[in-house]
Amino acid sequence: MEKASTAFSASIFTAIFLLVSTLYIQGVEGSIIGVNYGTVANNLPPPEQVARFLSESTINSSVRLFDTNTDILRAFAHTGIAVTVTATNDQIPNLTRIEFAQEWLKFNVRPYIPATNIVRIFVGNEVISTANKLLIASLVPAMETLHTALVGASLDRRIKISTPHSLGILSSSSPPSTGKFRQGYDTHVLKPLLSFLRDTNSPFMINPYPFFGSSPETLDYALFRPSSAGVLDENTKLSYTNMLDAQLDSVFSAMKLLGFSDIEIVISETGWPSLGDSSQAGVDAESAAQYNRNLMQHVTSGAGTPLMPNRTFETYIFALFNEDLKPGPTCERNFGLFQPDMTPVYDIGILRSTVAAASKFHHAAYFSVLTIGLLIISNHGADVEALQKNIDYVLWPGNTAMEIASIDQYIGACSGLFAMKKMTGSEYHLLFVDLQIFFPLERDEEQELGGNA
Ligand SMILES: *[C@@H]1O[C@H](CO)[C@@H](O)[C@H](O)[C@H]1NC(C)=O
Ligand SMILES: *[C@@H]1O[C@H](CO)[C@@H](O)[C@H](O)[C@H]1NC(C)=O
Ligand SMILES: CC(=O)N[C@H]1CO[C@H](CO)[C@@H](O)[C@@H]1O
């Protein structure tokens, strides 16, 4: 089957391929788009269905949970999906005691690993914003104690500890070069926190939401629209084309001021609602789609930000589902990429076509797919052999050098007309870009596929 190629098509695909791959290669390494799996709702599908949906559709290889829900952790077993769990804010004071931390691990993590790929523990969420003195004072000690418990269980290499922050930790953020942590918290909490992250090789997690920082006047800037005039930082003479970059750089400036510019920044939450109260500007499915689409493109592009050039950012979109029980204004319940029945709330381009392709593969082998362009593998060091095994059919044309020696080579390996029996997104991410044409197979091809799918 692999050999049934034609020189004609091979050259076309090679040509298109070069084009696409130069656009994407730079951002491939180390960039991951994940999703926040919030569950403040009474109508969500069972966790097994969600885990299957995510792993089969290759939407995401990483999820972040807001607790340590047993059913969800079980459901993600054997999916390979990287899971971040959260020790809730109320547990933080207790986690400063080693016995409690050990018990916490014993009940909330150890039963699920290694079947479930737990890679991170968040100690609380936006703790500094709670203004609760006990929680804030306990935060870093709790992280340190939990880390000690991880070391005791020989899990510290597998599982990293961090904690997400809102941008409320900044007292100054505009222009970005003046970014500063709030006084008091800077030396008493953030400095020891950043030291801990440095010592344990764990990233600093932030939840930037251009949505909440935007007004009708700055909507284009917040949505990464080219029509935005941009903003000049007079101090650095650097010009900002989008609000997310400005937010990231203000955090970076604040870290730098404390001497921690070397710590990696991860975006643990960001998103845009698809529905809001009528008074809100730019709250609709179109804007949400545009934000998330542009966001994914931007953070994986390798462009970085003006103060952090040539970087990618691991980014977790908020959120997987619309959550109907969330309090507050309408928009709070409408950040989801998917409705509870798992239909997309809106079209976010590459995400949707990935889903479309995956579900076609899943449901039947009656179609094959012409995919031009294609593919990002965002997990450096992915298991190429396993990846190759997942590609079951290469019907046509050439350029199907399925002997894959390296990730880079693989980028050229898979254009053309092909069908996959199964695409699992566990250790690697396939991303189909551009044109996909579905059409029925010839009878004999159909049988052949049907027999193997
Ligand atoms: C903290 O520990 C105390 C004593 O062990 C326990 O009674 C309490 O329920 C714990 N709190 C939380 C939130 O786990
Ligand atoms: C970023 O990449 C560009 C293009 O490859 C290069 O010219 C530039 O020097 C890089 N900047 C830094 C700070 O590495
Ligand atoms: C797919 C994934 O595994 N994590 C991903 C989340 O979704 C985007 C779009 O499909 C991918 O690029 C990421 O790799």
**Domains in the chain, start-ordered, CATH in brackets?**
7-22+360-452 (no CATH), 31-348 (3.20.20.80)
Distance CA 322, CA 41 (A): 8
Confirm or reject: Cβ of 88 under 6 Å from ligand 2: no
C-alpha span between 281 and 278 (Å, rounded): 8
Between vectors from CA 385 to CA 432 and to CA 12, what angle results, nearest 5°?
Answer: 40
Q: Is the distance from the beta carbon of residue 99 to the nearest atom of ligand 1 less than 6 Å?
A: no
Ligand whose nearest atom lies closest to the CA of 311: 2
Contact (CB, 8 A) for 255 and 266 = no
91 pocket-lining for ligand 1 (C-beta < 6 Å): yes
Longest dimension (CA), the chain: 72
452: exposed, middle or buried (C-beta count within 10 Å: 0-12, 13-18, 19+)? exposed
Nearest to 332 by CA among 220, 209, 206: 209
Which residue's alpha carbon is nearest to atom 10 within ligand 3? 59
> How many other CB atoms are there within 10 angstroms of residue 115's CB atom?
13
Closest CA to 295 of 284, 309, 305: 305
Q: Which of 29, 48, 99, 126 does the annotation list as catalytic?
A: 126
Amino acid code (one letter) for 301:
S
Concerning whether 126 is annotated as a catalytic residue, the answer is yes
Can you give the pLDDT of all 453 residues of the chain as single tens digits?
333 333 323 333 333 333 332 223 222 334 588 999 999 999 999 999 999 888 875 455 799 999 999 999 999 999 989 999 999 999 999 999 999 999 999 999 999 999 999 999 999 999 999 999 999 999 999 999 999 999 999 999 999 999 999 999 999 999 999 999 999 999 999 999 999 999 999 999 999 999 999 999 999 999 999 999 999 999 999 999 999 999 999 999 999 999 999 999 999 999 999 999 888 889 999 999 999 999 999 999 999 999 999 999 999 999 999 999 999 999 999 999 999 988 889 876 434 334 444 333 333 222 233 343 334 333 334 454 554 544 433 323 333 333 333 333 333 333 333 333 233 332 233 333 333 333 333 333 333 333 332
If you search the block for the tokens 């909330």, which residue do you land on? 108
Cβ of 89 closer than 6 Å to ligand 1, yes or no, is no
Where do the H-state alpha helices sit in 282-419? 285-301, 350-363, 384-390, 407-410
What are the start-end ranges of the H helices in 41-132? 47-57, 70-75, 92-95, 98-108
The amino acid sitting at 405 is: A
Strand 265-270 with 436-440, pairing = unpaired
Strand partners, 232: 239
Residues in contact with 135: Cβ distance below 8 Å, sequence separation at least 6, in sequence order: 89, 92, 93, 124, 127
Strand runs labelled E in 285-392: 315-317, 367-371
Question: Which candidate, 337, 314, 335, places its Cα nearest to that of 272?
Answer: 335
Confidence at residue 306, expressed as pLDDT on a 0 to 100 scale = 98
pLDDT of residue 53: 84
Q: Which atom of ligand 3 is nearest to the CA of 425?
A: 3
Cα 364 to ligand 3 centroid, rounded to whole Å: 23
The closest of 226, 436, 438, 439 to 352, measured between CA atoms, is 436
Q: Check pocket membership of 27 for ligand 2, CB cut-off 6 A.
A: no
Strand spans (E) along 126-212: 160-162, 164-166, 170-172, 180-181, 204-207
Gap between the Cα atoms of 291 and 331, Å rounded: 15
Taking the C-alpha atoms of 294, 299, 300 and 303 in order, what is their torsion angle to the nearest 10 degrees? 100
Q: Which of 86, 91, 92, 94 to mutate to test ligand 1, by most ligand atoms within 8 A of the CB atom?
A: 94
Cβ of 307 below 6 Å from ligand 2: no
Active site residue 314: no
Q: Please tell me the number of the ligand nearest to residue 295's CA.
A: 3
Residues belonging to the chain? 453
Determine the 3-state secondary structure of 33 from DSSP. Answer: strand
For residue 90, the ligand 1 atom closest to its alpha carbon is 13
CA 94 to ligand 1: nearest atom: 1
User: Which phi and psi angles does 119 have, rounded to 5°?
Assistant: -115, -15
Residue 59: the pLDDT is: 54
Question: Which residue, among 50, 66, 142, has the nearest Cα to 105 in the 3D structure?
Answer: 142
Residue 310 Cα to ligand 2 middle (Å): 6
Please identify which of the residues 144, 269, 314, 445 carries the catalytic annotation. Answer: 269
Please report how the helices 350-363 and 285-301 are oriented relative to each other, as an axis angle in degrees rounded to 10: 90
- Closest ligand 2 atom, CA of 309? 13
173 lines ligand 3 (CB under 6 A): no
Ligand 2: which of 26, 261, 305, 310 to mutate, most ligand atoms within 8 Å of CB? 310
